[in-house]
Structure 1
């Protein structure tokens, strides 16, 4: 910030006469009526991150996933204003390597539910299928991608050390269709990003 200061000097020079006068430029008035208006403006950019040691960091090992499951990963925001969370799925479902014969599958679909809690009690929440969270997916999802000012699930209020935020992964029990093949290697990884929002 640069300050521009205007200095005004008024000098009265005494002559040989006993009376002394001071002259002012037109519109100046007397020195006691001079008003300097110095506007000062500032802005503070939004800061946003996960609270220390409270980022969504978990490993969920689900036995018998075809019977249905639900797992939560809690996190805490430290955002001074609106924020956004975005998610990308590496596999678009729980996927095992190999080839499945006709009538069988090596991919288990599941849902991803993101909930963000603000300090003032506001909540933002949305659910997408994992298959819609891959970078190549054309299926709609409100929080797919990398968080930015305009991408991701938006929480419109500040959230500072507020509990209640989570990422939930879940799937119902297998109910027909292609049969999941037996494997201990069904995997997926969710990449979660957080940023300040407009």
Structure 2
């Protein structure tokens, strides 16, 4: 944002100007003052996205979880998400006919003062090499929001978010229906959410 302030004294009228020794008794002076305010963007204090979910028997039950957070941005912003594994993964080796990675979807909804943005990706789409989003369990909507967020990367909220509206990150999986059987073990993934002012 740019603010400009100009201070000027009124130019004297000829009838009011008195000269002493050939010099005017008043001079006109103009001072231009310019200032700028940088965009501020982050998560609202004590409201950064954070949650930990344990889903027993997810392969037969699936899950649907939502974590809320608040944005605090004075300008347009972008939010990016990175999946550490590209799905729920176990460290166990998967033999022939078995799988060690289970899919789930991530839906990101950003709510600002007057505008909102939503996109859905599969966790597999939220790793560095992905460009497009192809969710498995939720309808495809919006662009890829693989992070880390930057001025040009991540889901874009086109206006400020300063009034404390909830934004959400939704995690959803149905019962596993892959061609290969999931190998026994504990499956984990970590999502990292970042935010940046947007261009």
Q: TM-score range by the shorter chain?
A: 0.7 to 0.9
Stretches of 4+ aligned residues off by more than 3 angstroms? none
Q: How far does residue 176 in structure 1 lie from its aligned partner after superposition?
A: 4.3
- What's the counterpart of residue 39 of structure 2? 46
- What's the counterpart of residue 178 of structure 1? 180
Q: TM-score, normalised by structure 1?
A: 0.78
Of Structure 1 and Structure 2, which has the larger fraction of its residues in strand? 2
Q: How far does residue 161 in structure 1 lie from its aligned partner after superposition?
A: 4.1
1:134 to 122, 127, 130: 127
Whether the 8 Å CA contact 1:93–1:131 is kept in 2: the answer is yes
Report the 3-state secondary structure (helix = DSSP H, G, I; strand = E; otherwise coil) of the residue aligned with 1:42: strand
Structure 2: gaps (5+ residues): 1-18, 134-143
Q: How far does residue 182 in structure 1 lie from its aligned partner after superposition?
A: 2.9
Q: How far does residue 194 in structure 1 lie from its aligned partner after superposition?
A: 1.1
Whether the 8 Å CA contact 1:51–1:161 is kept in 2: the answer is no
- What's the counterpart of residue 27 of structure 1? none
Report the 3-state secondary structure (helix = DSSP H, G, I; strand = E; otherwise coil) of the residue aligned with 2:164: strand
1:119-174 deviations in Å (ceiling 9; x for gaps): 22x11111111112122x24425211211211211111111242230111111222
Report the 3-state secondary structure (helix = DSSP H, G, I; strand = E; otherwise coil) of the residue aligned with 1:159: coil
Calculate the aligned-residue CA RMSD, in Å: 1.9
Structure 1: gaps (5+ residues): 1-19, 25-29
Instruction: Name the CA distance, whole Å, in 2 between partners of 1:107 and 1:170.
Output: 15
Q: Cα gap change, 1:35/1:89 in structure 2, threshold over 3 Å: closer, same or farther?
A: same
Q: TM-score, normalised by structure 2?
A: 0.78
Structure of larger gyration radius:
1
